[in-house]
Structure 1
Amino acid sequence: MTDAPDDVRVTVWNEYVHEQENETVAEIYPDGIHAVVADALREGGFDVETATLQEPEHGLTEEVLAETDVLTWWGHAAHDEVDDAVVDRVTARVRDGMGLVVMHSAHFSKVFRALMGTSCGLKWREAAETERLWVTNPAHPIVDGVDEYVEIPEAEMYGEHFDVPEPDSLVFTSWFEGGEVFRSGCCYYRGEGRVFYFRPGHETYPVYHQEEIRQVLRNACEWAAPNDDGPEVVRGNHDPIEGIDTSDERSVH
C-alpha cells in the first residue's frame, strides 16, 4: 500500500517545446502540458511541482529528485537535448525506489530507453482517429474507477510491434480506428522502483483534459509511489543468519 496521495510528492517533467513553438498546441495547453497534468494530480490530492527542459539541470537537481516520490515524464521533440548526467541521476533514483510515469512519445526518451534496455520503437500515424483504450487487467489499481474501456475521440496511432520488454503487468491495450492495436499501459519493476508507460497524450489533441485519462494518471502516481511498508532491502557482503563456518579464505574479494 502506498502513502495517502497528499503524502506523495510528484514532479511533473515536460520538455515544454511544442507549446512554445506551435499555435495549435499552445491553444490546447497555453501554460504547457505539465501545467495540465499537474492540475490533474493536484485534484487527486498529490503534492505537485513541475520542471522543464529549459531549467538548469532540466529542473531535476539531486535535491529535487531526493524529494520526489514519483516523476512523470513527457517529451517528444528534444529527447537528445536531455543531459546524460541527468538521465543517469533519474534512472538511479528509479532503481532506488522513485516511481516513474512515462507518457506518450516519451517512449523514446533517454530515461525510458535506459530503463528498458531496448529501442522502444513502434509504428505511428497522425490522423486524428478514434482510440479505444481497453482495460486488460481489471484487478490492477491503476484502473480503479475506470470503465472497461476509454474512448479517445482524436488520437495519434501507435502500433505494434512495440520494442519493449514483456511488461510485468499489462493494464491497457489500445485499438485504433485504422485497425492497429498497441500495448498502451505497461507496468515494470526496476530495482526498488516502479515504472508505468501510458500511451495517450499527443500534443495536438486535448487528451490530458479528458477526465478518464486524468484519473488514470492519478492512479498511476499512487501505484508508482514508494512502498514504505515492505521489508528493508539489504545488499552486499552479509553475515550468515545461521551458524556456519566462515573460515574459508579462498575469496578473491
Structure 2
Amino acid sequence: MKITVWNENRHEQKNPRVKEVYPNGIHGAIAGFLEKSGLDVTCATLDEPDHGLTEDVLNQTDVLVWWGHIAHDEVRDEIVDKVHDRVLNGMGLIVLHSGHFSKIFKKLMGTSCNLKWREADENERLWVIDPAHPIAEGLGEYIDLDKEEMYGEHFDIPTPDELVFVSWFAGGEIFRSGCTYRRGQGKIFYFQPGHETYPTYYHQDIQQVIINAVRWAKPSPRSKPAYGNAKPLEKI
C-alpha cells in the first residue's frame, strides 16, 4: 500500500511558531509516524509542479492524506478533478482539520462544509462513539487534547455514512469530528484535530487514528463495476 501525504506547506514558511512545532512540516510529521507503522509513504506539497500530484503519483497512490488551510483557492481545478476521479475509482482519502474547506472535500461532499471556529487554547475531548469501528481500534473511550482549535456545529456536511468520533470543547460546543463516507469505489474519512500551532500530530492516540484510517481506506481488491449497455445473462 502506497500513501501520499499532501500539505500546503505554507504556514511552515510564514509562521515561526508553526515551524517550531513542525520543523519538517506538518506533512513530515504525519509521514514520519505512518512510516514507523510500516507504511510506504511519500509527501507532496502545493508549490511543486502539479502540486506534487502528477498523474504518475496519483495512479500509484492507494490512500491520499490531505492537509490544507490558507491556500485552498490556489489548488488548480484540473488537479482537483484528477483527485476526484481517483477517489471515485477506489483511492482512499483522509481529510484532516481545515481540509474541510478544500476544493476536493467540498466537491466530494456537494455542500459548503462550513462550520463555527475559535482559537482559544481550549481543551477538546473526542468521544469514541463507534468503538467497534476499525478506525477506533486501540483507543480508549475518548481522546483528551489539552489545546485545540474549536470547530463547532452546525457543520454543513452530508449525513456521514458512519460517525466514529464526536468532540466536546471547553467552551461548550460539540462537533462531528470523525466522519466516514463512500464515493464511488473510494472511502473517505474526515478527522478534525490538527491546528497548525498545536503539537496535535505528535499525540499517540491521534497518530493511531490516522494510521487506522489509512488502513481502513485502502482500495478494496475487487474488479471495477461494468457500466453501459449490457448483454443479458439469461435468454430473453
Q: What is the TM-score of this pair, normalised by structure 1?
A: 0.92
Structure 2 residue aligned with 1:174: 167
Which whole-Å deviations, capped at 9, do the CAs of 1:225-248 have from their partners, x for residues lacking one? 0010x464221211111111xxxx
SS across alignment from 1:107: helix
Q: 1:113 aligns with which of 92, 95, 106?
A: 106
Alignment partners' CA distance in 2, 1:51 and 1:231: 28
TM-superposed CA distance for 1:122, in Å, is 0.2
Work out whether 1:157 is the aligned partner of 2:150: yes
Which whole-Å deviations, capped at 9, do the CAs of 1:196-216 have from their partners, x for residues lacking one? 000000001000010100000
Structure 2 residue aligned with 1:74: 67
Structure 2 residue aligned with 1:60: 53
Which whole-Å deviations, capped at 9, do the CAs of 1:94-137 have from their partners, x for residues lacking one? 00000000000000000000000000000000001000000011
SS across alignment from 2:150: strand
Amino acid at match of 2:109: M
Alignment partners' CA distance in 1, 2:15 and 2:137: 35
Which whole-Å deviations, capped at 9, do the CAs of 1:170-193 have from their partners, x for residues lacking one? 000000000000000000000000
Rg larger in structure: 1
Amino acid at match of 2:228: G
SS across alignment from 2:34: helix
Alignment partners' CA distance in 1, 2:128 and 2:9: 30
Structure 1 residue aligned with 2:211: 218
Q: 2:191 aligns with which of 194, 198, 217?
A: 198
Amino acid at match of 2:116: K
Structure 2 residue aligned with 1:236: 228
Work out whether 1:16 is the aligned partner of 2:9: yes
TM-align CA RMSD:
0.7
Gaps of 5+ in 2: none
User: 4+ residue runs of structure 1 moved beyond 6 angstroms?
Assistant: none
SS across alignment from 1:20: helix
Alignment partners' CA distance in 1, 2:177 and 2:67: 15
Gaps of 5+ in 1: 1-7, 245-253
Q: Number of aligned pairs? A: 236
Which whole-Å deviations, capped at 9, do the CAs of 1:59-95 have from their partners, x for residues lacking one? 0001100000000000000000000000000000000
Alignment partners' CA distance in 2, 1:65 and 1:217: 20
Alignment partners' CA distance in 1, 2:7 and 2:112: 21
Structure 1 residue aligned with 2:116: 123
